[in-house]
Structure 1
């Protein structure tokens, strides 16, 4: 474990115990039935997991970014969906903390710290994908607020979240386009329809939905920070946290796959000895552990840089890119090690294999991460030692 305070180490251990005691015994049944984990979410509220990015003055239990990464890893080790249930929420907490008006902070953060109000982000549109500046969701200003029309898709937790950080255009004619983008703090109400839950390969239990805004009304005070036109830069800052969170989810999935593979390779015998003693399987395990350790160090490095106040879009992009590709490879290798059992729904390995691809395409595809990384390499004059 990275150098955490005694209090933070205790928090990580507490989450690990929650995963081992409460999550692992029920996750297979919940996941296969695609059942929303109500009891587990309530327990996460009790543990203070939804307040990890909220200062004490608002009732939260703030932790360092490395601690947040390790907590996310523990949750994803038990069930990646649980880490997803708090990912966007944490990003919105940080957006409010960094950019919100005093009134917005006081209105939302105390209830977000307890999980009474859970939040999500709404960025992606059906025809836009990663091209956020091409969005068509528009909020037109009226005398008493904004009238919003448009649609979003793949919005996690949107049916059960009471607050949505909605990225939209408040000035569609602005050039460059990003100067006309704002974040509206939207709550459920007339004009906002959660039209359907999208069917998914993995990432079961929590919902990912399509949202439709038809003459949805938001007050003037709903603009994050109170000033239009800063939403794109605000959200890009938030995505640094989001990408670290996705990297940490990948660590959790990869670690679960490695742990299951280690246990299986010691209990399963062939040709008179445990299969880990066969060089091909032993090499698999050694490579899995090595790549996972490298991914964790890369993610923790980005987390420490973030806490030092540095810009970490490149570092977070590297962590997300490498950790997600590592998790996918480890999950596939775990299937190989388990043989036919790795393809069986009676083992958890097949779940890891279905969950791992989400981190490759979520929070900005890995192709986008490579674009971010190379632009920063050019801007910074290379990779600093």
Structure 2
């Protein structure tokens, strides 16, 4: 895949991987056990420009393209998917504001988000809704002066435990509406969620809104636009981030599995000398390459504003997340009993991998959206032939 990257992108990829090897991989297992990321690590990422990587320089960002954003997520996915989730939600909130925020909202929120002085949380998922966005029950009530009252609950919100601002989506009557709420807003309460299967250090939480006052200046976009215009921006970058992070995990599984196969002995032979191991490694290596190309295509399509950028992000996330689950399963198998211990990186990969098939839309939701897209394209081709 490197042959498709510019010299600048290749240089940054090396920097990202060196950063992860030095500051992330050695501590990832401990963060997983502690179920938290140290503040010093977030500060180090911010100082490197990673938390505002795509934001314009005028908002204290780095102005990097989506391909570079993808490379950043791939590098962190190799080291610690739970930490990569911070890159995901930070991009979801900041890029949504960059596109749809008012000038005042951009000047207030984007610089501290870019500098890492504040973490953003994308508060969309609800207890009874999951990936079905039209079933949201969080409600805005008009107050008659342009302001609203907000009641409801969000759950499984990444980095809710440390977020300083929440981008919240709900309904006013039958119209979806989005707003920004600072953490200290009266009536906003965060309850930590612990004991997760994977992504244990991603600071997930439940966020409850009880008669929260929402001034007109806090609204993002107009009523009726939150699900058709506002949220899709965040979801696009969320899916790209997740796909590239899953790609990084596949790379981690492949590297750990091939190293183990080359060195672990069973009698006089290495594990890698057995035919059934050949099959696992051949499949893993091929899916690593395929997932990389799909992720690159999704990033480029987003940079170039291609009309099929949405579909390409769906395909990348769908394929890479499924490849991560398969790769983690085979990597543990190749490691054998040692792979079942918490000290083994493949053990953590195995737990983290499953999360990729659920966050930012389940694999089943992706199948529904992709099949609909493919069938509509088929109908257009058929109409042209007739």
TM (norm. structure 2) is 0.94
Whether 1:22 aligns to 2:19 is no
- Residues in 1 aligned to 2:353 and 2:310: alpha-carbon distance in whole angstroms: 22
Superposition deviation, residue 53 in structure 1: 1.9
CA distance in 1, matches of 2:362, 2:76: 22
For residues 148-172 of structure 1, what are the alpha-carbon distances to aligned partners after superposition, in whole Å with 9 as ceiling and x for unaligned? 00000000111211111101112x2
Pairing 1:304–2:300 present? yes
Deviation for aligned residue 1:297? 0.5
Residue matched to 2:366:
369
Contact 1:70–1:248 (CA under 8 A) maintained in structure 2: yes
Which runs of 5 or more structure 2 residues have no equivalent in the other structure? 382-386
Alignment-derived partner of residue 163 in structure 1? 165
1:352 alignment partner in structure 2: 349
After TM superposition, give the deviation of residue 182 of structure 1 in Å.
Answer: 1.4
Alignment CA distance shift 1:383-1:51 (3 Å): farther
Paired residues, what number?
Answer: 376
| Alpha-carbon separation, structure 1, partners of 2:98 and 2:363 | 28
- Output the aligned Cα RMSD: 1.6
Distance 1:140 1:198, change over 3 A: farther
The correspondence of residues 187-336 of structure 1 with structure 2, limited to 5 A, is: 187-188=182-183, 189-225=185-221, 227-233=222-228, 234-311=230-307, 312-336=309-333
Q: Could you tell me how far apart the structure 2 residues matched to 1:281 and 1:378 are?
A: 38
How far apart, in 1, do the equivalents of 2:160 and 2:24 lie? 23
Alpha-carbon distance in structure 2 between the residues aligned to 1:3 and 1:104: 37
- In 1, distance between residues paired with 2:219 and 2:34? 39
Matching of residues 65-144 of structure 1 within 5 Å: 65-142=66-143, 143=145
SS of residue in 1 equivalent to 2:26: coil
CA contact (8 A) 2:92 2:233 kept: no
**Structure 1 segments of 4 or more deviating over 4 A?**
none
In structure 2, what is the equivalent of residue 177 of structure 1? none
CA–CA distance in structure 1, aligned partners of residues 219 and 285 of structure 2: 45
What's the secondary structure of 1:216's corresponding residue?
strand
Aligned-partner SS, 1:205: coil
Superposition deviation, residue 10 in structure 1 = 2.5
Q: Secondary structure at the match of 2:128?
A: coil
Tell me, yes or no, if the aligned pair for 1:377 and 1:383 is still in contact at 8 Å.
no
Q: Structure 1: 5+ residue runs without aligned partners?
A: 175-179
- Distance in structure 1 (CA, Å) of the matches to 2:379 and 2:279: 34
For the 8 Å contact 1:191–1:214, the answer to whether it is kept is: yes
SS at match of 1:183: strand
Using the size of structure 1 for normalisation, the TM-score is: 0.94
CA shift, 1:114, in A, is 0.6
Shift of 1:383: 10
